[in-house]
Amino acid sequence: ANEKLKSIEVNTAPAPGFMTHWKSLITLLATRANGISLVHDTVNTNRFEFTRDLNRMGAKVEILKPSEVGMIPVISDDSYDFNKSGEPHTVARITGPTKLRGTKSHIIDLRSGAVLILAALSAEGKSEIGGSENVSRGFEDFFDKLSSLGARFNYVD
């Protein structure tokens, strides 16, 4: 079928909701969807760092306050003080579809690293990614599984 991905709106939440750990994966997928997708993290206030690398690869991701996109600001952590800290930037607005292009990057943590590798595999051109050991430690046979799907890797020191 020649159907295209449609934009989505996702709110992360503590279990059993849409887990915040999946946020980076759905953000990457949204770069391929038609239209504007919104991913609202209602659990964490500072976990969209991975979008910088996606933007360097050609994605169009903006990190905004919920009120800037017509959403109600929510943080499930009761200790977060909106009066003291203000409204956090917890919404990714992804405009798609975009074509990603290869780039040089370095993995800083497990989940964003997996997304960076998946983004590189879907990008046009070559990518060089350092810090892949961070992903290998967290996902069993990650690179072997991707290789079995046809991914090609060259390991360099």
Q: Where are the domains of the chain?
A: 9-77+85-148
Tens of pLDDT, residue by residue over 69-103, are 999 999 998 899 999 999 999 999 999 999 999 99
Mean pLDDT taken over the chain = 93
DSSP readout, 58-90? T--EEEE-GGGGT-----S-TT--HHHH-S---
Question: Which band of pLDDT confidence, cut at 50, 70 and 90, is reported for residue 153?
Answer: confident
Q: How many CB atoms lie within 10 A of CB 29?
A: 19
Query: Residue 157 — very low, low, confident or very high, per pLDDT cuts 50/70/90?
Result: low
141: its two tokens? 């046979």
Mean pLDDT of all residues in 102-120: 90
Dist CA 22 CA 36 (whole Å): 19
Determine the 3-state secondary structure of 27 from DSSP.
Answer: helix
For the 9-77+85-148 domain, the top CATH level (class) is alpha beta
Q: What is the DSSP letter of 53?
A: H
The pLDDT score that the predictor gives to residue 2 is: 61
Amino acid 92: pLDDT = 99
pLDDT at 150: 93
Distance between CA 157 and CA 100 in Å, rounded? 25
Task: Note whether 41 and 48 are within 8 A (CB).
Answer: yes
User: Binning pLDDT at 50, 70 and 90, where does residue 136 land?
Assistant: confident
Indicate the DSSP class of residue 48: -
Reference 39, options 18, 15, 14; nearest CA is 18
- Strands (DSSP E) contained in the chain are 9-11, 35-40, 61-64, 91-96, 104-106, 128-130
Residue in the structure block whose two tokens are 């279990």: 15
Torsion of the alpha carbons at 34, 40, 41 and 43, rounded to the nearest 10: -140
